[in-house]
Structure 1
Amino acid sequence: MSDVIAEQRTRTNWAGNVTYRASGLARPTSVDEVQRLVATTPRLTALGSRHSFNEIADTDALQVSLADLPPVLDIDTERRVVRVAAGMVHSQVAAGLEARGWALANLASLPHISTAGAVATGTHGSGIRNPSLAQAVVGLEAVRADGSVARVDASSPDGALDAHRVALGALGVVTAVELAIVPTFRVATTVHLDLPWDAVESSFDRIMSDAYSVSMFTSFDDRGARQVWVKHRVDEPEPSVDLVALGARPATGPVHPGENDPAGVTEQGGVPGPWSERLPHFRSSFTPSTGAEIQSEYLLPAASAVAALRELRPLEELFAPLLIAAEVRTVAADTAWLAPSSGRQSVGVHFTFRRDAAAVAAAIERIEDALAPFDARPHWGKVSAASAERLHAVYPRLSDFAALARDLDPTGRFRNPFLARILT
């Protein structure tokens, strides 16, 4: 079995705002090793690509990385399914699929995140027809608390697949996922700048549904939506909303969502390219910095989006020194119990803040107060002030999930402080 590494150096998440308290890090190189490790370790927590901004992957026990498991990318063309090793990142999966003429229907904005970690936290891309990445899961394999491997798919009883799609690491260590795939497709991204607020409000639904994937970026200042990214599938009808007529202007070159150096963003300017190189906002060849930032996100019913943005605009002065960018995206309804878009067409409002923990905490309190009337659900991998009671109120199946976690893991082998707080 691979050694458990009791590292002396300080270990943090991707952004550096969480310092892990784990006693050590295990890097098994086979599923057999994962099984033995789980069976012989009193408590452990799976660690993905460290892109969560809260303590969901933190523990005072052992962390387990699956990054050293052998890469697996097996395509079943008849079922239109790909089986991938859980530790692989989306850029690896996307490149392998594209090379063989296949695609995932959607990707997150950053392609460097682990496949299993993105699924487990309800991470999503954008598009009124595109649910979260977890909805693409048609099967998975998880090492249970006793070290056995369980397969879960659509034939499993009692809605088990929907319970496992977004599982927060509470039901076992996922070692492989099966994802629905589609034939490859091409996408072209165009960007417009400074869409006025009155146009955002009057034409929001038309704009957000005008292409395969649409994102608005704002600072909640008088520029309105300072960037509108329209990602058009070239095999579908051209977008019909004239953003210039609504008051925006075309970008004359590549732009970065945070108004930084655009070298790392995927190609814009309406140049068609593979889905794998257009659906993410950032290039897979670009290594993200360990950026000094903190992220938060809330998903709310799509019908409430304009009203919610109107409630957030008075916070402009609070945001001015702190907010790098806010992104507004659509997400189709999921069936996963704990997906932030479960059961409803949704709009996500995502905040990227400068890494000032105290100031961000104060801002999040104000944001959550503003969004409370809209039944907003916090993203599981982002920073939130929501209490366990609030989470149970906005996630109707959370109590059912907590009961399932107790049944499958009665001794709390996969429990960490984050899960102990919410699985009441």
Structure 2
Amino acid sequence: MEKITLFWFRRDLRLDDNLGLYYAYENEDCVLPLFIFDTQILDELPSKKDARVEFILQQVKAIHEQLKDFGSSILIKHGKPEEVFEELVEEFEIANVYTNRDYEPYARKRDQAIADLLKKHQIAFLDFKDQVIYEKDEITTDSGSFYKVFTPYSKTWLRKFNATKFGPVSLDGRKNRLYQTEPLPLPTLNELGFEQTDIHIPRLEIDKDLIKKYDKTRNFPALDGTSRLGVHLRFGTISIRKLAIQAKALNETYLNELIWREFYMMVLYQQPEVVDKSFKPQYDRIPWRNDKEEFQKWCEGKTGYPLVDAGMRQLNRTGYMHNRVRMVTASFLTKHLLIDWRWGETYFAEKLLDYELSSNNGGWQWAAGTGTDAQPYFRVFNPSSQLEKFDKDRRYVKKWVSEFGTDGYPEPMVDHKMARERALEVYKEALGK
């Protein structure tokens, strides 16, 4: 039996500028690409209509088609990764397994288990950095500790980035390194246990003109002023290196957003307990009200605050919410309603196409005042003044809240002044201020 090397796709669904895949082809004689639909993740999804699963299947199919040109294919499995690899070591004579690193707690635990399993069969598990520019502890303070504040982190990140030359890697000329096989079967969405949705996922396109104007347009939700590349970064259908190089040339504000993404990934790697605990432990003393009826109104976009309601309805219908509005809706839930940030984070995780644990967690803890580099607890967004500032003519609100301006639109569920004062009092008491 011919020895093969497996390349395991996860959050890197592309052939172009994929570092782990490149090194597999560079170093090995016979490479078979692999993707596993992980039932440990899929079984936890609350709905069988999830556009993200549909998107992943579409991208795997695209890779499948591209590999045909190489005379190869991609092996698709559906199950628990450990069980899948137990089967694979029986099915193939495997030399090595290559993959790209993932920094989320579940992924790290999974990968360690796979590495241990393979080691028993004398198979190496080789992983590479691909979904970030800088990982783990590559950006540290002078004393070697990790940054807990974004601004100094970003300055160090930029200095290192500007001093480094990045070049994309290509598989050109390495077709003979691929496992030669007839196209392998692909599952259908139904076979995976999911159904089609009517949610549109924006196509992969770097709009240079949009990015050039990003700093001027990004805060206005009625404008088409953001790149909508989040879902592509999440699943690795775009190379972060290529995007960061473009951003450096086009708009430093946009590049700064990519640095925020890596900052939160670094925080999650260094302190995985932030998944369910406040980064600042004293904030876990806050006695959240957690009113279920109020939470439901927030989820449905029926709070009586137009900008909050428009954002929630946009999220529910499209799987996307404008970044400025994400901050306003999160602040409203945690400060106005005093509902635990973990409730909101979980809801966003279920709905957002571009859901990424580190960024979602970091953003929610920022809004609640509980996280690293968070807005202070005494800063409470006024959703009415935010509306005046960023959607003055109500274009965004009118698009998503059809009954706005009619008798059918509800009164505000809570008075802003009262809610702000209540939040300050509760936070102060919990923090011993």
Q: Which has the larger radius of gyration?
A: 2
TM-score under structure 1 length normalisation: 0.25
TM-score under structure 2 length normalisation: 0.24
Q: Which has the higher strand share?
A: 1
